[in-house]
């Protein structure tokens, strides 16, 4: 595979055989309710660089993708939880971030529009709050939150009398499963063990790597074109970075060999990621092991930051520079999925980052670049419609791998 468009054409031409391959992979697996994945495209390769199993940006989906999400969610519950009619949507309680709460409101509306009853709840609410709390958002929107309790059968009750059949968590459990949900007998999805208090990035990327290797062997494609090289380093401390630096150099060497093989003139770089990190925390870009040894205090603090626990294990991931831009700023696709595949997405872009850096950081924007608006006029320096259409197509293709890997991870 020499070029991005060749990969696009190949996947398009082999859709029937690829669909059969996915069907075989899904045998005896149950999909997770939802996910999102960040994708980077460099022209010479494309790959998933992060997969979130508790996505918090459904409010960024346009009207068209929202309708698709409603339909997919309806089908998901019908296929996987057919007896569930009342849903408790468990939201994060550590934040009053308006955009996150708009995501919760949108997700609640998806569930209601899918024909189910749904109420929002949060853990660790202060005792003095009433059974029903209204949080004002914007544009006259409000989010109603019902306080959770356990009944005498250890099942969750919201407010005074809402007894859910199922809990859908949008809480990533970074600090563990909170009360009263840790003891409740009401079914909860995704499984709480997929929360960041126990989940590790390396598990997901190991599964992804195995899937892409199997796919590459089946279809005679070098899997490197579809996924970043990754490795895990354990036992790292702020004052003991030598081993981490050494492993960075090993990975840089591996990337360099692939660049030589395909005559790529880019300079390799690596992302060091907190293995249990979320919200883009604990992520640092380096070009060599020496960069690790020369980290200043600020960068060390950033690297070792974590919402879940003290970071001491890291995922080293090949950096994929983005070749796409909007108004001269780097962009990357973010795909949102329900069940076995994507339902839509948007482009994330950042006005203060280079094509080599992580765009998932404060100052990012994404609301105005909807993926489906392929043929609407844009500024002249936006990627052309054909290239954008190919990028969206392949991003959705990769999202199927993310869904499959998440199911295997569970």
Fold category of 63-194 in CATH: Rossmann fold (3.40.50)
The model's pTM is 0.93
Predicted local distance difference test score (pLDDT) of residue 47: 97
Contacts of 370 (CB under 8 A, 6+ apart): 62, 64, 65, 346
- How many beta carbons lie within 10 A of that of residue 267, not counting itself? 13
Is the omega angle on the peptide bond into residue 190 within 30 degrees of 0, that is, cis? yes
Whether the per-residue pLDDT at 96 is higher than 90: the answer is: no
Predicted local distance difference test score (pLDDT) of residue 386: 60
Spatial distance between the Cα atoms of 232 and 22, rounded to a whole number of angstroms? 27
Predicted local distance difference test score (pLDDT) of residue 276: 85
Q: 207, 306, 290: which is closest to 242 by C-alpha?
A: 290
Q: 349, 241, 343, 337: which is closest to 286 by C-alpha?
A: 241
**Residue in this structure with the two tokens 């599964």, named with its chain if needed:** 207
Spatial distance between the Cα atoms of 52 and 402, rounded to a whole number of angstroms? 9
Contact in structure between 98 and 138 (CB atoms under 8 Å): yes
pLDDT in tens, 214-271: 999 999 999 999 999 999 999 999 889 999 999 999 999 999 999 999 999 999 999 9
- What is the percent of the chain with per-residue pLDDT over 90, rounded to a whole number? 72
253 burial (CB, 10 Å; 0-12 / 13-18 / 19+) is exposed
Average pLDDT on 366-387 reads 50
Contacts of 332 (CB under 8 A, 6+ apart): 38, 39, 40, 41, 322, 324, 347, 348, 349, 359
Spatial distance between the Cα atoms of 220 and 330, rounded to a whole number of angstroms? 31
Predicted local distance difference test score (pLDDT) of residue 375: 43
Average pLDDT on 83-93 reads 96
Contacts of 201 (CB under 8 A, 6+ apart): 50, 273, 275, 276, 277, 315
pLDDT in tens, 136-182: 998 889 999 999 999 999 999 999 999 999 999 999 998 899 999 99
Q: 260, 381, 259, 365: which is closest to 321 by C-alpha?
A: 259
- 278 band by pLDDT with thresholds 50, 70 and 90: low
Domain ranges of the chain: 4-56+199-409, 63-194
b/e code 374-406 from CB counts within 10 Å (16+ = b): eeeebeeebbeeebbebbbebbbbbbbbbbbbb
């Amino acid at each position: 595979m020499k070029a991005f468009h060749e990969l696009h054409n190949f996947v398009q031409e082999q859709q029937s055989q690829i669909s059969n391959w996915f069907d075989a992979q899904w045998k005896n697996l149950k999909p997770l309710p939802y996910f999102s994945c960040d994708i980077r495209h460099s022209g010479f390769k494309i790959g998933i660089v992060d997969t979130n199993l508790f996505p918090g940006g459904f409010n960024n989906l346009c009207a068209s993708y929202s309708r698709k999400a409603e339909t997919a969610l309806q089908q998901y519950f019908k296929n996987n939880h057919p007896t569930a009619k009342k849903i408790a949507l468990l939201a994060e309680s550590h934040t009053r971030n308006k955009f996150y709460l708009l995501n919760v409101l949108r997700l609640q509306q998806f569930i209601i529009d899918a024909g189910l009853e749904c109420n929002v709840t949060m853990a660790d609410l202060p005792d003095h709050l009433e059974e029903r709390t209204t949080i004002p958002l914007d544009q006259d929107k409000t989010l109603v939150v019902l306080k959770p309790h356990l009944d005498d059968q250890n099942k969750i009750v919201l407010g005074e009398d809402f007894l859910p059949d199922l809990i859908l968590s949008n809480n990533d459990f970074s600090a563990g499963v909170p009360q009263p949900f840790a003891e409740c007998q009401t079914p909860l999805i995704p499984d709480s063990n997929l929360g960041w208090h126990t989940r590790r990035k390396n598990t997901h990327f190991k599964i992804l790597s195995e899937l892409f290797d199997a796919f590459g062997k089946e279809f005679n494609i070098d899997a490197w074109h579809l996924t970043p090289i990754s490795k895990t380093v354990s036992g790292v401390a702020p004052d003991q970075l030598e081993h981490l630096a050494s492993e960075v150099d090993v990975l840089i060497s591996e990337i360099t060999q692939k660049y030589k093989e395909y005559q790529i003139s880019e300079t390799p770089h690596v992302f060091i990621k907190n293995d249990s990190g979320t919200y883009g925390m604990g992520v640092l870009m380096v070009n060599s092991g020496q960069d690790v040894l020369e980290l200043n205090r600020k960068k060390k603090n950033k690297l070792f930051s974590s919402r879940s626990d003290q970071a001491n294990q890291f995922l080293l991931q090949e950096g994929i520079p983005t070749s796409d831009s909007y108004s001269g700023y780097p962009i990357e696709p973010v795909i949102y999925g329900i069940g076995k595949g994507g339902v839509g997405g948007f482009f994330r872009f950042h006005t203060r980052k280079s094509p080599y850096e992580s765009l998932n950081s404060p100052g990012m924007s994404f609301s105005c670049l909807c993926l489906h608006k392929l043929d609407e006029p844009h500024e002249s320096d936006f990627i052309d419609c054909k290239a954008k259409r190919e990028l969206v197509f392949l991003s959705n293709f990769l999202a199927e791998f993310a869904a499959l890997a998440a199911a295997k991870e569970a």
